[in-house]
């Protein structure tokens, strides 16, 4: 009996050792490779729930040797969780990330794997737009993530139905836009709705474009190289323009109390003539295939134009917007090279950023300009607002930087906060610029 117990104990130890060694450091479930995934999704958007279900279930059906342990989060809860992972130094196997901006910590701490060897191994170089595979576009300085789109973080949505009701035409200049405020107000309409309670929205979806207009293309590079400062007159003028927008009631101070999720519904119900958001927001207005309902029905979508902010007198350049590589997915740098887990994670990345998924994202309104070169647009049925967003590139001649993609959080956070203070009339552009320059100098000294 004693000998039997000893033999059983030895066998149990051997099984444990084999299980650990066979895993190669990866989690396994019944012989399967388990991937921990942090995913970003807004399930309130039309088609989002059905799309996510299809995307993940289709992958698992085609890859029965893989299981996925997935967290789905949106907006600030997602970023809070990402920051917690960064602080721990232990990130999920596959993550939804930005090329810079809110994901800068992941890039700077080299927590993401360089995908270049995997891309070359599978000869994918020609399958993506060149900018998508340009390492200089990412905060890491290497191919830390594969982006799904090219993004215009500023789009100017125009409701011609509201304008027609007031006897107005789309404003071509800021002076025209300002002159429309009292006419729209008399009819019970806001001029521009912009959900600015979340402080990133003003910075990313409007001020980045405005800073580009006043400071010129490549202005961020001049600051980063020491050739310019945030306290220079051009940047101060851009800040003061935002203050003027609120003072002129072109954007109401009430915008500072509107949550990001509320904006599309307000615009869809004709509360304003104009709406400002990113090009990605078009997905919120489209028909939900599961219900047949749309926030803006296709027939009414024909009355929505998508362009860029009107020309501003005194700006260096006009007819511009702010552009950046879109979001995508990355693999944890902790996963061993050549391991079963790396193979599983890479198969997932190739699916998530492959032509089938990106075609479906485009069709359901999840993106405007896919990075894959083999997406066949002729086979995709698009609603009028999707076509309008797809043609946004014809509405501007220059793409300038998105601030939270060009600068560290230590720098863009005081810009975000300063934009709120400008809206409330608590500070001038010069005061905000001084705060931002001090933050920049402090950040630079720590590098």
Q: Check which CATH number belongs to the domain holding 72 and give it.
A: 3.40.190.10
Judgement on whether residues 75 and 195 belong to the same structural domain of the protein: no
Domain count, the chain: 2
pLDDT of residue 437: 98
Per-residue pLDDT of the chain (447 residues; tens, 9 = 90+): 434 444 434 344 333 333 323 333 445 556 899 999 999 999 888 889 999 999 999 999 999 999 999 999 999 999 999 999 999 999 999 999 999 988 999 999 999 999 999 999 999 999 998 889 999 889 999 999 999 999 999 999 999 999 999 999 999 999 999 999 999 999 999 999 999 999 999 999 999 999 999 999 999 999 999 999 999 999 999 999 999 999 999 999 999 999 999 999 999 999 999 999 999 999 999 999 889 999 999 999 999 999 999 999 999 999 999 999 999 999 999 999 999 999 999 999 999 999 999 999 999 887 888 999 999 878 899 999 999 998 999 999 999 999 999 999 999 999 999 999 999 999 999 999 999 999 999 999 997
Judgement on whether residues 221 and 301 belong to the same structural domain of the protein: yes
Judgement on whether residues 215 and 235 belong to the same structural domain of the protein: yes
270 within domain boundaries: yes
pLDDT of residue 29: 53
> Quick one: tokens of 185?
């107000």
Judgement on whether residues 335 and 319 belong to the same structural domain of the protein: no
87 within domain boundaries: yes
Reading phi first (left if > 0) and then psi (alpha if -120 to 50, else beta), residue 167 is in: left
187 within domain boundaries: yes
379 within domain boundaries: no
Report the C-alpha gap between 433 and 145 in whole angstroms. 32
27 within domain boundaries: no
pTM of the predicted structure, to 2 decimals: 0.82
Judgement on whether residues 344 and 418 belong to the same structural domain of the protein: no
Judgement on whether residues 298 and 437 belong to the same structural domain of the protein: yes
Judgement on whether residues 219 and 177 belong to the same structural domain of the protein: yes
260 within domain boundaries: yes
Domain that holds residue 255: 153-323+395-446
């Amino acid at each position: 009996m004693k000998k039997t117990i000893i033999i059983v104990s030895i066998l149990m130890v051997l099984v444990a050792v084999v299980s650990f060694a066979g895993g190669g450091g990866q989690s396994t479930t019944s012989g399967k490779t388990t991937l921990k995934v942090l995913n970003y999704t807004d399930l309130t958007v039309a088609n989002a729930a059905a799309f996510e279900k299809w995307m993940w279930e289709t992958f698992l059906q085609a890859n029965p040797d893989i299981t996925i342990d997935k967290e789905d989060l949106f907006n600030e809860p997602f970023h809070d969780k990402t920051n917690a992972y960064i602080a721990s130094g232990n990130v999920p196997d596959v993550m939804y990330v930005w090329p810079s901006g809110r994901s800068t910590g992941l890039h700077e701490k080299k927590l993401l794997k360089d995908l270049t060897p995997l891309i070359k191994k599978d000869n994918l170089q020609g399958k993506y737009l060149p900018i998508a595979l340009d390492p200089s576009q990412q905060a890491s300085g290497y191919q830390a993530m594969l982006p799904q789109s090219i993004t215009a973080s500023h789009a100017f949505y125009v409701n011609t139905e509201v304008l027609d009701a007031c006897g107005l035409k789309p404003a071509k200049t800021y002076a025209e836009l300002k002159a429309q405020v009292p006419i729209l107000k008399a009819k019970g309409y806001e001029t521009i709705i912009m959900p600015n309670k979340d402080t990133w929205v003003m910075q990313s979806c409007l001020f980045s474009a405005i800073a580009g207009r006043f400071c010129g293309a490549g202005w961020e590079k001049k600051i980063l190289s020491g050739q310019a400062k945030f306290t220079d007159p051009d940047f101060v003028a851009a800040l003061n323009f935002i203050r003027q927008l609120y003072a002129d009631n072109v954007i109401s101070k009430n915008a500072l109390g509107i949550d990001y999720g509320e904006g599309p519904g307000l615009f869809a119900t004709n509360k304003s003539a104009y709406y400002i958001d990113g090009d990605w927001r078009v997905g919120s207005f489209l028909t939900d295939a599961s219900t047949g309902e749309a926030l803006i029905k296709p027939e009414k979508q024909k009355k929505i134009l998508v362009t860029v902010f009107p020309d501003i007198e005194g700006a260096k350049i006009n007819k511009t917007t702010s552009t950046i590589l879109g979001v995508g997915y990355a693999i944890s740098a902790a996963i061993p090279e050549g391991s079963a887990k790396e193979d599983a994670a890479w198969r997932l990345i190739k699916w998530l950023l492959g032509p089938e998924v990106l075609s479906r994202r485009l069709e359901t309104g999840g993106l405007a300009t896919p990075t894959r070169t083999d997406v066949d647009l002729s086979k995709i049925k698009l609603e009028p607002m999707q076509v309008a967003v797809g043609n946004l590139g014809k509405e501007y001649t220059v793409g300038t930087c998105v601030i939270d993609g060009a600068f560290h959080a230590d720098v863009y956070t005081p810009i975000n906060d300063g934009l709120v203070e400008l809206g409330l009339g608590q500070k001038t552009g010069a005061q905000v610029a001084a705060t931002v320059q001090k933050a920049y100098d402090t950040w630079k000294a720590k590098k």
